[in-house]
Structure 1
């Protein structure tokens, strides 16, 4: 560069430096209105002339951030955990990490959820009642009424959106279960994915459950590519490690920026998967059975002041067998299943404890508000009366004879099974309350533990708080802690009012009266209404009804209302309906008023096979009978071509190479599904019926190298759902083999397994190969044709 140009640059720099020493600071930015989000983009507010000499000093405007002193927020939500499960709330499963956290803070013993997965998560993130945001059911069973369509609207911004707009970093790890399943494809839309709901980073799964050893995961909006996992891999550990890494990376770069970390592991939802060493810690601990478990747990709860001294143990619900009525073999299986579940619980406690320890060790660790919700509902009864190796037996409307349970006893808790314990244990996990998950008319479904810790703000020293609260109160609590108002408008959309109240008043006031005075509950026709210490309940249906042969009610209006005074009856043990008919009538009227207010009408009944298969929901596949996919396509089951209950044909256009093998197409996993693959030079089709029967049809001869199209054609028997048929394998139209499939699944193979082309992601459909078993030849196109 010529020397005179260098001199000109130097002169310009010196002139700017001189100007900077003379100019006064730019005027302060105007006060922020944080009720309207996003906050306005700050602009330079000084004087601007034609040249720098006539202008104020250049200065980048300050960008809006979080209020001064706003805490970091860690929100943990466990899955399918009963009130009497953890040692923190009197249970027999040691949870030392949660115990330590509670000793630094407070335990709430009258905290409530909705009684089911998706609804609780929607209310947790928005501060609105679940029907108000379309989440009256789980996403996989959404229906077309506003309160049940699972389509959370822009008028109920999540707490992640609010905090991100106010200068927080936001991330989510784990189970979302709030994206409508028909939107879970590469075509989107993505506004109801975590990254569309205010989370800057997401790593986890979208459906109701996934294998803990072979999970189907997403990073932001992309499926996580199958990678070799360590031999000791477990999803809870993976989520914890990634959450810790995210926080540490953030704080290393921006130590003063607060964060919102939402951690929602799959534990302890089925499948009950845990490392063997954690399971074996509990060997022999549950041989006395569920009736004795409840008795001993209530004793501990009274001793530790978790429940009032006069709390009564509620009787065993109809359909749950007495432990002493079981055979020795049944007791052995049931006890082992509980050992597996206990190991699962203890393991996730350890992993979540690692995260809490990591955030507490940071320089601003004491200014970190931890809200630890111990379950999105009570213990789950989806294992039936004796437990199951595969919970999808129930989801397909079938009964499990459980004859094979004993033969597979040593495999329980491993990747091999989608195991779930008997519903006697679900009831026991909810001690001292009646019923279990999906029966929100009663406390066993909706009373969950809550631990809150914030060392810089309060030191609870393990105290118990007994104010009535609900999951809709979490968002208002976070907002008050951060010094933020509930927004009136977000991204130009007027917001629905919050349904909850902040719990912060109870942090320092142990005896403060409850500020959450009224709350309704409704799931699948089961309903309740709380008001000022009273609870009116109406049970419509429970899973045990299915197994006991009780004729289910078909009309949700045909329910019997009960009445309880929870101020004097902590466990909901004494029905006062006959004594207080006027109060009961008033409570029922209040229930219907709340339902109308929150968009929860009409009350719907029990889910059907049609609900499970999604035939009434929006779909990219409805009305189509022909599909074509490239190699590498991965779609959630509900968004792939549904081969259930009909004839179909699959054609794969291939170019084989020496030794070509791998999956051409697969759907489902260990719980059920099908796979068309090449192995040993031969073509194979496997239909996995609930992991009970594996129907395999294989070509007898090695495939010719010049073959161009490999096909599988299924001729369905017809005559109803779940029938059998004949499967034929072909190469360029020439029959290779034929075989019968006696039974097919009518509703679902899995919740988070996928339809895969050129691989089998997640868990493998067949034991003949290890996932992902990518096809090593060339797969140009995979076509599926559905017959009438």
Structure 2
């Protein structure tokens, strides 16, 4: 089927974890000249909203329905069995690439997907909920919540692939994704110049880990020495000057949970400043790379007939680095706090391949100016207000203008369908479709003063709630985003706040006490919307929901797993080994002269474990998120010949974080024993895989070279749950 005559190409760009007040285009401190050029030649939306978290925004963005309506009320790693939270996008809500592909468009995505249920990210599939199963012709990127920018776990369509070069050769994921997107668009244009295309460029930047190429480090040194409180004042003043926020908009005060900059110590400032400088460098590099993609379209003559929608963040800036920031972001997410000293001791490594850095809460809050709070907090605009820039010279004449109508990520799909002259489908592949819940924004293109057509929108994320209706917003916040486990209190007892958003852009003046009837009206509306869109039951758990044991698994009901050499599996498709008795058995042949290499590993430099041969010795290494490391080695070298090497792990208890005794065997002979005093509480990794016979990603301990392939013969490795 051919696309309607005159259909534009569509380029949908999505960044990650960028606050409203980060980029210079919208008044922030990080120079973004390429975003600025797009804004100067298009329209900037200053009241555009996301869901406050990544998987949910991405699902809503491509489905045109609310995130709970498409089973994505939270990130896929936290999915549960309730309809709004399964992580399974239903067939009754066909995604934009499917609709466009069925109507003559070539379709591809590059970057972060994060919308496939974890158990299905494996060589066994099923693949119908991967990007290529949901409408994209091509996919190059990663399938989980984050990626190491120097050692990413990549897929081409459904097949794992290695990066084309190494960090030493200059590799960085954002640059790789841009290269792939440029090549794809040019190939489509060369093969069929009349065929429109849809490219979804969904880079991981600037999500943690905040990794920066070596030649981009340094330009922001000293730029933030005034601290986060002053930075918000500077950003607020600049936003007013640019007209990005209405005259009279108030700068919201610092929450009492976040320390004042003046209260920080000299050592704290040293760390906090370097982490923020690195974060800014990451954003500046990202702007450059997106600019390279836009420039390629201009060079090919395709830019003017390309509808570009550039969503600057899938939520606000992230506070997941904790109050002190962190050198190892995974540790923070797992509830393991490294302490300031761990970052001071390695401050010069921040941004490089041996780090997984994340800014402290204060800087995340500053990047969300003028709003309250951050990512995860769906009750306040710091979590849900992101800039949107739209450029389409062939579709509208506006240049350098702003739009202030209230809109949401679910409005992008109907906007694109209207621009492409395509109706909303009622049936796709014989399956009746749920109505699209978004409204097209195209009415704003040439009508800057048009009344907003989005009059109501609910918000909910891990217990934080909000409801916008006719210029008013009621909201209720529960907990703080950096507290990942064991929050105190009752979610239903948290107070509600009330704001007249039409007159109070930044949620600065709480009117709950003055207008209790209005507040109750909106609270009732929230629960009505929540019932309609599968938001209920409300669930405020965080770390507890990250446990892979909560979800269906390929491993359910099995106690023995035999894996061949050179297998890679994400953690969600592997047996749950945490605080559980288990055995690794590797059938190997060791040649004369010995062998070395990895037998089995899960995770890497920032948390994980591995069983390997090195220097002739059998070694089991356990990395507790860099906080502690435990190593058990054989007493003597393993002799040549056919042998079964075993590691027996006996947990002290079935409690999260329990210690264990590890014993090593060659056939039936005990060759080593030692202790793991403390273990990872709920998962091992967010972005690396279980590898057999080699080690991809990062090493579990930095004393062997990657890929550390086993140099003897490895028939298989068997994991037994005892």
Q: For the superposition of Structure 1 and Structure 2, which TM-score range results when normalised by the shorter chain? A: over 0.9
State the distance in 2 between where 1:174 and 1:480 align.
Answer: 26
1:759 CA drift (Å): 1.1
Which residue pairs with 1:137 in the alignment?
Answer: 74
Deviates more, 1:136-145 or 1:587-596: 587-596
Conservation of the 8 A alpha-carbon contact between 1:613 and 1:638: no
Alignment of 1:86-105 (within 5 A): 86-105=23-42
Confirm whether residue 304 of structure 1 aligns to residue 242 of structure 2.
yes
**Preserved CA contact (<8 Å) 1:86 1:95:** yes
Q: Which moved more, 1:747-756 or 1:287-296?
A: 747-756
1:478-497 aligned within 5 A: 478-497=416-435
Secondary structure at 2:217 match in 1: helix
Q: In the aligned structure 2, how far is the partner of 1:491 from the partner of 1:347?
A: 42
Equivalence for 1:638: 572
Judge conservation of contact 2:23–2:32 (CA < 8 Å) in 1: yes
Equivalent residue for 1:453? Answer: 391
Of residues 196, 201, 208, the one that matches 1:263 is 201
Contact 2:499/2:511 (8 A) holds in 1: yes
Aligned to 2:366: 428
Deviation at 1:700, TM superposition (A): 3.7
Other-structure match for 2:216: 278
Counterpart position of 2:10: 73
Match of 2:628 among 676, 679, 693: 693
The answer as to 2:373 corresponding to 1:439 is no
SS of residue paired to 2:550: coil
Q: Is this contact kept in 2: 1:555–1:605, CA < 8 A?
A: no
Which residue matches 1:192?
129
Structure 2 Cα separation of the partners of residues 159 and 305 of structure 1 = 33
Deviation at 1:227, TM superposition (A): 5.5
Q: Is the 8 A contact 1:320 1:544 kept in 2?
A: no
Corresponding residue of 2:641: 706
> 299, 303, 316: which is aligned to 1:378?
316
1:598 to 513, 533, 536: 533
Counterpart for residue 222 of structure 1: 159
Alpha-carbon distance in structure 2 between the residues aligned to 1:683 and 1:210:
30
Q: Does 1:154 align with 2:88?
A: no
The answer to whether the 8 Å contact 1:104/1:459 transfers is no
Describe the superposition over 1:450-478 as per-residue Cα deviations: whole angstroms up to 9, x where unpaired: 00001112243211111100000000010
CA deviation string 1:156-194 (max 9, x = no partner): 000000000000000000000100111111111111100
Secondary structure at 2:346 match in 1: helix
3-state SS, counterpart of residue 729 of structure 1: strand
Tell me, yes or no, if structure 1 residue 780 matches structure 2 residue 715. Answer: yes
Name the structure 2 match of 1:543: 481
| SS in structure 2 of the partner of residue 455 of structure 1 | coil
Offset of 1:781 from its aligned partner? Answer: 1.2
In the alignment, what sits opposite 1:653? 587
1:197-596 to 2 correspondence within 5 Å?
197-225=134-162, 228-229=165-166, 231-544=169-482, 552-596=487-531
The answer to whether the 8 A contact 2:635-2:672 is kept is yes
The residue that corresponds to 1:48 in the other structure is none
Kindly indicate whether the alpha-carbon contact (under 8 Å) linking 2:236 and 2:369 is maintained by their aligned counterparts in 1: yes
| 2-structure distance, mates of 1:554, 1:148 | 23
SS where residue 683 of structure 1 aligns?
strand
Q: What is the DSSP-based 3-state SS (H/G/I as helix, E as strand, rest coil) of the residue aligned with 1:441?
A: coil
- Corresponding position of 1:12: none
For 2:317 and 2:379, the matched residues in 1 are separated by 15
Instruction: Give how far 1:501 is off.
Output: 0.7
- Structure 2 counterpart of 1:167, from 95, 98, 104: 104
Offset at residue 773 of structure 1 (A): 1.4
Listed one character per residue, the Cα deviations across residues 350-370 of structure 1 (whole Å, up to 9, x for unaligned) are 111111111122233211000
Deviation, structure 1 residue 131? 0.3
Structure 1 distance, partners of 2:706, 2:458, is: 45
- Output one character per residue of 1:407-448: Cα deviation in whole Å (capped at 9) or x when no partner: 110000111121111010110010000000111100100000
CA–CA separation in structure 1 for the residues paired with 2:164 and 2:644: 29
Write the distance in 2 (CA, Å) between the matches of 1:681 and 1:552: 48
Q: 1:543 Cα deviation (Å)?
A: 2.4
SS class of match (1:736): strand
Q: CA RMSD for the aligned pairs?
A: 1.4
1:576-629: CA deviation from partner (whole Å, max 9, x where unpaired): 0111111111111111111111121111122243x2122221111122221111
Comparing 381-390 and 551-560, the one that deviates more: 551-560
Cα distance in 2 for residues equivalent to 1:260 and 1:646:
47
Are the counterparts in 2 of residues 395 and 748 from structure 1 also a CA contact under 8 Å? no
What is the distance in 1 between the residues matched to 2:287 and 2:165? 26
| Number of residue pairs the alignment of both structures matches | 720
- C-alpha distance in 2 between matches for 1:173 and 1:689: 32
* 1:85 equivalent in structure 2: 22
Shift of 1:212: 0.3
Deviation at 1:202, TM superposition (A): 0.3
| Distance in structure 2 (CA, Å) of the matches to 1:100 and 1:400 | 41
Q: Residue 496 and residue 552 in structure 1: after superposition, are their counterparts in 2 closer, same or farther (change >3 A)? A: same
Structure 1, unmatched stretches of 5+, are 1-63
Partner of residue 703 from structure 2, selected from 752, 768, 774: 768
- Residue 554 (structure 1) shift: 4.7
> Could you report, residue by residue, the CA deviation over 1:57-78 in whole angstroms, capped at 9, with x for unpaired residues?
xxxxxxx200000000000000
What whole-Å deviation, never above 9, does each CA across 1:693-717 have from its counterpart, x for those lacking one? 2222222422211141111111211
- Alpha carbons of structure 1 residues 719 and 778: separation in structure 2 relative to 1, 3 Å: closer
In 2, the alpha carbon distance for the partners of 1:523 and 1:372 equals 23
- Identify if the C-alpha distance between structure 1 residues 518 and 226 changes in structure 2 by more than 3 Å, giving closer, same or farther: closer
> Post-superposition shift, 1:226?
6.3
- Report if aligned partners of 1:433, 1:571 keep a CA contact under 8 Å in 2: yes
Shift of 1:557: 1.5
1:44 is matched with which residue? none
What residue in structure 2 maps to residue 17 of structure 1? none
* 2:682 equivalent in structure 1: 747
| 8 A Cα contact 1:226 1:772, kept in partner | no
Secondary structure of the structure 2 residue equivalent to 1:309: coil
SS in 2 for 1:131: coil
Task: Answer yes or no: is the 8 Å Cα contact 1:465–1:510 preserved in 2.
Answer: yes
2:56 is aligned with 1:122: no
* SS of aligned partner of 1:389: coil
Distance change (3 Å), C-alpha of 1:661 and 1:161? same
In 2: Cα distance, 1:492 partner to 1:555 partner: 45
Cα deviation digits, residues 295-335 of structure 1 (max 9, x gap): 00001000000001201110111311000000011011000
Larger radius of gyration: 1
What CA distance in whole angstroms lies between the structure 1 residues aligned with 2:507 and 2:624? 41
Change (3 A) 1:253 1:659: farther
Q: Give 3-state SS (helix, strand or coil) of 1:686's partner.
A: strand
Query: Could you say if the C-alpha distance between residues 118 and 101 of structure 1 is closer, same or farther in structure 2, counting changes exceeding 3 Å?
Result: same
1:674 corresponds to 2:647: no
Distance between the aligned counterparts of 2:266 and 2:71, measured in 1? 46
